[in-house]
Amino acid sequence: MGDMNGDHANRVPKIIFVGVDGVLVRFAEQMSDAANAAALAFHKHIENIAPVGIREAAPSLTAVYLKLDLDADIVQVVQSVTEEVHARDWFAEPMLQSRVWTIPCSFDGPQLSEAAQLAGVNETQAVAQITATQVRVLTLGFAPGQPYLGNLESHWNIARMDGVAPRVPARALVVAVAQLIIFANETPTGWRHIGQSAFQCFDQNRAEPFAFQAGDRVQFVSAARSEIDALWDDSFGGARLEVVS
């Protein structure tokens, strides 16, 4: 793996070879709203122009992975990618805000109190702060359609647990590192379980199996557990989707 750009300013994306058929366009070493927005803007641009020689484009928190077509002229493809990377200031692109989800959640997870204490607030304040914050889908990963949602205020930059909770249920809401996740499946995790939704991130029976798109906004609203239970058979768990023009 080699870095094609060398040691440039932090705002200049780095183009890195990954294996024999991949290129990573990395916008920052560490997660930030600006770097994430730049990565999402570049990914959308690549999807829109569908350049010859790119078989797949996938965004992450701060980068975009491009899978190359080895039957194409790789030198020409990489040159084309380089030109697109430097064609504009991706950090200056407006943040994607075209869709907003409102999702009911019961804030009764077994580790809500512990997470709140680590964040320096009480449980009531924790719920109030989370439901007052419109978070953004930074990327999808780990499980089909599973979102990393951020960022919460800096005091929510709490570490993951030293150990692992062996079984956190599907559709649970968990928190760590100033981010939230709705779990697509039951899974072990080091993130703290603070609530429960009925929202299915992935449903193969839907016309669009992945509910979220990177860049979507998400607003949680507090609900009783009985309300969440009543919504369990609804694929979207009572969520509302607003498309912003």
**151: cis peptide before it, omega within 30°?**
yes
Task: For strands 192-196 and 172-176, give the pairing.
Answer: antiparallel
**pTM of the predicted model, to two decimals?**
0.78
- Among residues 184, 196, 121, the alpha carbon closest in space to that of 158 is found at 121
- Among residues 215, 201, 79, the alpha carbon closest in space to that of 138 is found at 215
Q: What is the pLDDT of residue 8?
A: 35
Q: What is the pLDDT of residue 96?
A: 59
CB atoms within 10 A of CB 3: 13
Amino acid at 219: Q
Collapse the DSSP code of 135 into the 3-class scheme (helix H, G, I; strand E, B; otherwise coil) and give the result.
strand
CB atoms within 10 A of CB 33: 12
Q: What is the pLDDT of residue 23?
A: 94
Q: For 11-168, where are the alpha helices, taking DSSP H only? A: 33-49, 74-85, 112-119, 123-132
Series of mean pLDDT values for 10-residue runs along the chain (245 residues): 40 88 92 87 91 91 93 93 92 78 98 98 98 94 93 96 94 98 96 98 94 93 98 96 85
The rounded Cα 147 to chain-centroid distance in angstroms is: 4
Report the alpha-carbon distance of residue 189 to residue 193 in Å, rounded. Answer: 9
Collapse the DSSP code of 59 into the 3-class scheme (helix H, G, I; strand E, B; otherwise coil) and give the result.
strand
Q: What is the pLDDT of residue 54?
A: 96
CB contact set of 242 (below 8 Å; sequence gap of 6+): 99, 100, 101, 102
Q: What is the pLDDT of residue 10?
A: 56
Q: What is the pLDDT of residue 9?
A: 44
Q: Which residues pair with 47 in a beta bridge?
A: none
Q: What is the pLDDT of residue 80?
A: 93
